[in-house]
Amino acid sequence: MRHEIHRVSCLMFWIDIHTTKHLREYKKHQKRHCKAIFPDFLRGDLKLKPSQEAADLELLGKLDPVHNAGHQAGHHDVCLRGTRESVLGGIMRWAKDPQDRYVFWLNGLAGTGKSTIAQTFSEMVVKNGTLGASFFCSRDYLDRKELKNIFPTLAYQLACRYPAFRNQIIPVIKKDPSVARNSLISQLKDLIVDPLCSTGISCVIVVDALDECVDDQPASAILSVLGRFVKQMPSVKFFITGRPEPRIRTGFRLPLLEPFTQIFLLHKVELSSVDEDIRLYLQEKLTAVAKRRSDSDLPDPWPCDKDLMALTKKSSGLFIFASTLARFIESEHHELHKRLQLIVTPPDSTVHEGRAGIDPLYTQVLMHAFSDVEETTVFANLRRVLGVVILAFNPLSRAQVANILNINTTLIKTTLRQLHSVLLIPTIETEEIRVFHKSFPDFLQDPNGCSDPKFAIDSPVHHGNMALGCLELLEKLDPNPCSLAAYAMNRDVVDLPKRLEDKVEGALRYACGYWAMHTRASPTTGDYTIRLIASATEFFRHNALPWIEVMSLESRLEGVIHNINNLFDWLDKVCRFDCKPH
């Protein structure tokens, strides 16, 4: 085993030397090329005059913002009309009162509707012209769970929104083009605080689901640096949502931040008020379903008040429970009234009540979806597919999942057909499959929650399967996959994104970015280590340089280093175990 690890390490060392050599040769050639074609430019005699706006946008692009992180991306629904009115009213009063505290923490347990409220509030402050920027964190997307991306993205949005802010930040980027890669405290000061203080802009900044970011600090790193500067920005309001996890709670309790923070406990709202909102939500959703399903012979009204009351009681204040119930009942493959009766009968049952009730509901969804299945191969396929869906570092489409697992897309469609109440499964196979709520992946990976081995997901094993699938895909990589001219600069290739899309399909691009992250999370003992080391060895022998090319074409060269570091971390764990006496 140690011999195999040494071989991989040597190959990686060779890659490092080889690519460095090619970079030196490339730079020499590029210098000669530029001197021959642009002698006046190199002497400084040529004065280019692009439009100022285009030049500014190019500079702002150096912030490397996450473009799908704002509220405009529409990752979340808004509150149904007539619901959450008291909560939203209180938040709006805080936002409009210049004398109120600078920070608002919407503190709520999983499933209480924090992101829906954040989306609704964002759209409300857009209408009154006070939203400056927003960042909706998500552990489903790698770039939206990285703390280092939050402040640069907010700064980019502010610069696009306010010309005065843009005029302040452009010189900062010119002076330090890598400012977006600096420490969090430098990012906040240089990209947010100084420009806002200089301009006196008054606005609201929204950060949703802060708890979903990767953060190894005992107190939230973002909140720690915000506490240092929040007092310097009295005209700016920060609206932040997050679960009451220890690092989030500790962050808001820091002496520099606590005096300026208003905390609203969403899960402590009077249950009668939440129940009325949930009842209204369920009535609206299920009535709409009944109207669409002309094939169903249902009484009018449906559902009746008694059933609505039973559903509301079982939801126990959790909107995610109510929305899962609604999707479970509206299954196109079942009769509506029978699905409803599965939940409300017997009416006195408390099996689905209480804040832990979401786990039994997920169990019921899975059990009913596969109630007539006995073949072990069906459940094996289910675990394979669900493992990829819930463990992918970015959401994948049906076609991409099929390529990674090397199976037919029809099998995926058949396997997931009954799970529309917990998964968003588009009819188009190139669109992303997504989980409706993070509590479902948590349930599948928690032995205490999902105790049935037919459905339980063993995360390291499935990461190992994904790593092997990715490495197998990478064998398809050819040198110069986009057929670029020799020494062509990426920025000079006008149709580069289209070429990438045409020549390097989605699953292969995913494999390029995340194969080593899956390897790092894979088992460090047993058969997986032998297979992964063998696959990694072949990869570095035959496909490493084309892989680096693809990462360069996608402007993700730093990902090469991160991937190699991830592989080294995993190899180190394997080696430590292998060296232990057995």
| H or E segment and range at residue 383 | helix 376-391
pLDDT band, very low/low/confident/very high, at 21 (cuts 50, 70, 90): very low
Q: pLDDT of 28-70, one tens digit each?
A: 443 443 333 233 333 333 333 456 777 888 899 999 999 999 9
The predicted structure's pLDDT at residue 123: 97
Which of 230, 249, 268 is where one domain is finished?
268
Is there a single domain that holds both residue 30 and residue 136? no
The per-residue pLDDT for 421 is 84
pLDDT classification of 364: cutoffs 50, 70, 90: confident
Q: 32 and 96: one domain?
A: no
Residue 331 predicted with pLDDT over 70: yes
Average pLDDT of the segment spanning 541-564: 90
pLDDT number for residue 134: 98
How many residues are there in the chain? Answer: 582
Is 216 in the same domain as 301? no
pLDDT digit string, tens, across residues 474-518: 998 888 888 887 777 877 777 888 888 888 889 999 999 999 999
Domain boundary among 335, 355, 375: 355
> What is the predicted pLDDT for the residue at 354?
37
Q: Mean pLDDT in the chain?
A: 86
For position 481, what pLDDT does the model report?
83
Q: Which residue from 162, 167, 185, 187 is spatially nearest to 176, judged by alpha carbons?
A: 187
Looking at the domain assignment, is residue 162 inside a domain?
yes
pLDDT category at 314 given cuts 50, 70, 90 is confident
Range of the domain at 160: 61-268
pLDDT of residue 356: 46
Does residue 19 have a pLDDT over 60? Answer: no
Compute the distance between CA of residue 308 and CA of residue 302 in angstroms, rounded to an integer: 9
* Same domain? 91 vs 31: no
Question: Mean pLDDT throughout 273-277?
Answer: 92
**Is there a cis peptide before residue 441, judged by omega within 30 degrees of 0?**
no
Q: In 464-512, which ranges are E strands? A: none
Q: Given pLDDT bands bounded at 50, 70 and 90, which one contains residue 350?
A: very low
Q: For residue 580, what pLDDT band results from cuts at 50, 70 and 90?
A: low
- The pLDDT score that the predictor gives to residue 24 is 45
Distance (Å, whole) CA 407 – CA 410: 9
Query: What pLDDT, on a 0 to 100 scale, did the predictor assign at position 233?
Result: 95
Total tally of structural domains belonging to the chain: 4
Q: Across the beta sheet with 236-242, what order do the strands follow?
A: 131-136, 203-208, 236-242, 103-107, 261-265
Residue 421 and residue 530 share a domain: yes
Name which of 184, 204, 197 is nearest 251 in CA terms: 184
Omega prior to 303 cis, within 30 of 0: yes
Can you give 199-250 as a three-state secondary structure string? HCCCEEEEEECHHHCECCCCCCHHHHHHHHHHHHCCCEEEEEEECCCHHHHH
Q: State whether the Cα torsion 236-240-244-250 is positive or negative.
A: negative
Residue 41: predicted pLDDT: 30
Residue 332 in any domain: the answer is yes
State whether 162 and 250 are in the same domain.
yes
* Pairing state between β 423-424 and 434-435: antiparallel
Q: What tens digit of pLDDT does each residue of 109-163 get?
A: 888 899 999 999 999 999 999 999 999 999 889 999 999 999 999 999 999 999 9
For residue 547, is it within any domain? Answer: yes
Residue 85 lies in a domain: yes
Cis peptide before 395 (omega within 30 of 0): no
CA angle 81, 83, 85 (to 5 degrees): 100
Domain co-membership, 108 together with 154: yes
Q: Which helix (H) or strand (E) holds 276?
A: helix 271-292
The rounded distance, in Å, linking the Cα atoms of 562 and 181 is 14
User: Is residue 395 domain-shared with residue 496, that is, in the same domain?
Assistant: yes
Reported as a pLDDT band with limits 50, 70 and 90, residue 164 is: very high
Name the more confident of 527 and 401: 401
Checking if the pLDDT of 393 tops 60, the result is yes
Task: Please give the share of the chain, as a percent, with pLDDT higher than 90.
Answer: 58
Residue 378 within a domain = no
Dist CA 202 CA 236 (whole Å): 5
Per residue in 166-185, pLDDT (tens digit) is 999 999 999 999 999 999 99
State whether 277 and 404 are in the same domain.
no
